[in-house]
Amino acid sequence: MSSSRDEYDDFFGDSEPEAGPSPDDTRAEGRLLRVPLKRLAPNTVNPRRNFGTQEALEDLGRSLKRRQQQPITVVSKGKYLKLWDHTDQIGDVDFVIVSGERRYRGALAGSLSSLEAVVNDAIATSRKSFLDAVMTENFDRENFDPIEEAYAVQAMVDEFGSNRAVAEHFGRADGWVTQRVCLTYLSPELQQQVRARTLSLELARSLGQKAKKHGWDSDEQKLWLQQQRELLDEERKAKKEERRQQKAADRAKAPDTKVSADRPSFTAVKPPSESQAPVPGETNPAGEGAQPATADAPADREQLPDLVVPQAVRWGDVELVHRTLRQWMTDENYQSLRKRMLAEGS
């Protein structure tokens, strides 16, 4: 049997009847409706409190005016009140929001009159199923406030009875639950530091576990945190100094590749091959200092290995050559060279 439009005029904002449909009316179950904002209320068990700045909500409202990409999910007021007696908190409405509270707040900030919504009373069959629907949406958000997440997990523990039951429900390890619940034991001041990211989650969770175990008040928590921060600061300084010393040691071990200014540089020079040997009597094209070949030079002269010639040595300065040879040669090699030169000169 099809329903006439008159039965749902109030959902589309075409009329304002004195009394809305019964809170237990499930005729609209699963249907997409446009519900006036004044007939909606957020649920009271949602741990989320940070919905963004007023400016961000107004931007969302303008976006919703152009198009609402996704409807919000709601349950009828009657179904919700069977789970929690929150009549005073939700007021005189017909539907309670399960997911989409930020869109609801954006619509209010943007002065919209209604939102598209899907009624799904199956969510309200039990507290567990309702909490699961609310919390899962939040857990899936990447920017979920860690303190809000902590209280959300704690609410699940209260309803499911134990950390283990919640962990099994979400397919997580027990530690996943413990690490989040312990943040609820932090003082409000330190929880705000976690929100502001001035207190790391690792340190906050360690403190939360100790605060729970020892029953620490705010002052005791701050004292422990100050001590830990001082220890961490000392460790960072020690590691920095260790790295500095290691770099200094590495530099000391590295070979000195710089050439001293008072030492001559050397370049490998190949002796000319026989085909390149100068003709007797001709000038050597190598330039100054090159010696012309003599007619009585032995044809089978021994091929010498590549020579290393100090370019900075002035070979015409006998005294400088002598000092250079004494500096670079061992006594044994110097004496051998001296004997050879005497033999060639005799």
CATH of the domain at 213: 1.10.10
User: For position 186, what pLDDT does the model report?
Assistant: 96
**Contacts for 131-134: CB closer than 8 Å, 24+ residues apart:** 131/45, 131/155, 131/156, 131/159, 132/156, 132/169, 133/73, 133/98, 133/99, 134/43, 134/45, 134/46, 134/98, 134/99
CATH of the domain at 105: 3.90.1530.10
- Asked whether residue 16 falls in the same domain as residue 35, the answer is yes
How many CA atoms, within 13 angstroms, populate the side-chain half-sphere of residue 257? 2
Q: Is residue 236, in this structure, part of any structural domain at all?
A: yes
What Cα–Cα distance (Å) separates residue 22 from each residue in 30, 77, 128, 140? 17, 9, 25, 34
Whether residue 118 is found in the same domain as residue 217: no
C-beta of residue 110 within 8 angstroms of C-beta of residue 157: no
One domain, residues 138 and 177 = no
Q: Are both 167 and 101 inside the same structural domain?
A: no
Give the integer Cα–Cα distance in Å for 204 and 209. Answer: 9
> Measured between alpha carbons, how far is 41 from 95 in angstroms, rounded to an integer?
7
Alpha-carbon gap, residue 10 to 307, rounded angstroms: 105
Last residue of a domain, one of 195, 219, 242: 242
Same domain, yes or no: 119 and 45 = yes
Q: What is the pLDDT of residues 159-203, one digit of tens each?
A: 999 999 999 988 889 899 999 999 999 999 999 999 999 999 999
Question: Are 40 and 173 within one domain?
Answer: no
Check whether residue 135 and residue 153 sit in a common domain.
no
Range of the domain at 183: 145-242
Q: What pLDDT score was predicted for residue 297?
A: 45
Q: Within this chain, do residues 72 and 181 fall inside the same structural domain, yes or no?
A: no
Residues 36, 77 within the same domain: yes
Here the tokens at position 101 are: 């509270």
Counting the structural domains of the chain, the total is 3
End-to-end Cα spacing for the chain: 135
CB-based contact 126:83 (threshold 8 Å):
yes
Query: Within a domain: residue 272?
Result: no
**Residues 26-68: tens digit of each pLDDT:** 445 678 899 999 999 999 998 888 888 999 999 999 999 999 9
E strand or H helix at 41? strand 40-42
Q: Point out the domain boundary residue: 89, 119, 144.
A: 144
134 and 172 inside one domain: no
Position 158 confidence tier, pLDDT thresholds 50, 70, 90? very high
The SS3 call for residue 307 is: strand
Here the tokens at position 223 are: 């004292």
Q: Does any domain span residue 20?
A: yes
How does residue 334 score in pLDDT terms, banded at 50, 70 and 90? confident
265 within some domain: no
- Quick: pLDDT tens for 3-32: 443 333 444 443 343 334 444 444 456 788
CB 147 within 8 A of CB 185: no
Check whether residue 207 and residue 164 sit in a common domain.
yes
**In the chain, what percentage of residues exceed pLDDT 90?**
51
Any domain includes 256:
no
Q: Which of 88, 112, 144 is the last residue of a domain?
A: 144
13 contacts: CB under 8 Å, gap ≥ 6: 34, 36, 113, 114
* 217 and 140 in a common domain: no
- The C-alpha angle with vertex 100 and arms to 129 and 59, in degrees rounded to 5, equals 165
